[in-house]
Homo-oligomer: A and B are copies of this chain.
Amino acid sequence: MPSMSRKLNYKLILRFLGNVVFIVGLFMLLPLLFSWYYGSGDLRGILLSAVVTIVSGGVIWLLGWSPRKRQAGKRDAYVIVTFTWVAIAFFGALPFVFTGAIPSYGDAFFEAMSGFTTTGASILDDIESLPQGVLFWRSLTHWLGGMGIIVLSLAILPLLGIGGMQLFTAEASASASDKLHPRVAVTAKRLYGVYLLLTLVLSLLLLLGGMTVFDALCHAFATVSTGGFSPNNDSIAGYSAYIQYVITVFMILGGINFALHYMTLTGKFQKALKNEELRYFLKLLIISATAISLLLIIRTGMNGEEAFRHALFQTVSIATTTGFVTTDYLAWPSYIWIILFFLMFTGGATGSTSGGLKAARQLMVFKISAAEFRKQLHPRAVVPVRLNGKGVPGDIVHNIMAFLLIYVLIFATGTLVMVLMGLDLETAMGSSIGTLGNIGPGIGAVGPVDNYALIPAPGKWFLSFLMLLGRLELFTVLILFSSRFWKE
Contact = CB atoms under 8 A, between A and B. Distances in A.
Interface of A: 1, 4, 160-162, 334-335, 338-339, 341-342, 345, 365, 368-369, 372-379, 394, 397-399, 401-402, 404-406, 408-409, 412, 416, 419-420, 422, 424-426, 428, 443, 475, 478-479, 482, 484-485, 488
Contacts of A374: 484
A334 B424 contact: yes
B162 A376 contact: yes
B379 A419 contact: no
A373 B405 contact: no
A351 to B, nearest CB: 20
A226 to B, nearest CB: 23
Nearest to A403: B372
Contacts of A161: 376, 379
B377 A338 contact: no
B369 A405 contact: yes
A341 B368 CA distance: 28
Contacts of A375: 399
B162 A338 contact: no
Contacts of A479: 373, 376-377
A409 B334 contact: no
A428 to B, nearest CB: 8
A341 B334 CA distance: 21
Given A377-B479, A377-B488, 11 more contacts: A160-B376, A334-B425, A338-B416, A338-B425, A341-B425, A373-B475, A376-B475, A401-B402, A404-B405, A408-B408, A425-B443
A476 to B, nearest CB: 9
A394 B404 CA distance: 18
Give chain A's interface secondary structure class: helix
B478 A373 contact: yes
15 contacts: A334-B419, A338-B416, A338-B419, A338-B428, A341-B425, A369-B409, A372-B399, A372-B402, A373-B475, A373-B478, A373-B482, A376-B475, A377-B482, A377-B484, A394-B398
B399 A398 contact: no
Contacts of A419: 334-335, 338
Q: Which 7 A-B pairs have the closest CB atoms?
A: A372-B402, A401-B401, A338-B419, A335-B419, A335-B420, A369-B406, A373-B482
A428 B394 CA distance: 36
Contacts of A334: 419, 424-425
Contacts of A372: 399, 402, 406, 475
A339 B408 CA distance: 16
A310 to B, nearest CB: 20
A4 B372 CA distance: 15
A402 to B, nearest CB: 4
Given A334-B419, A335-B420, A425-B338, A4 B377 contact: yes
A403 to B, nearest CB: 8
Nearest to A476: B376
Nearest to A378: B4
Contact of A405 (B401, B443, B482): B401
A13 to B, nearest CB: 17
Contacts of A398: 394, 397-398, 401
A191 to B, nearest CB: 25
A368 B160 CA distance: 19
A338 B426 CA distance: 11
Nearest to A424: B334
Contacts of A482: 373, 377
Contact of A368 (B397, B405, B426): B405
A409 B365 contact: yes
Nearest to A368: B402
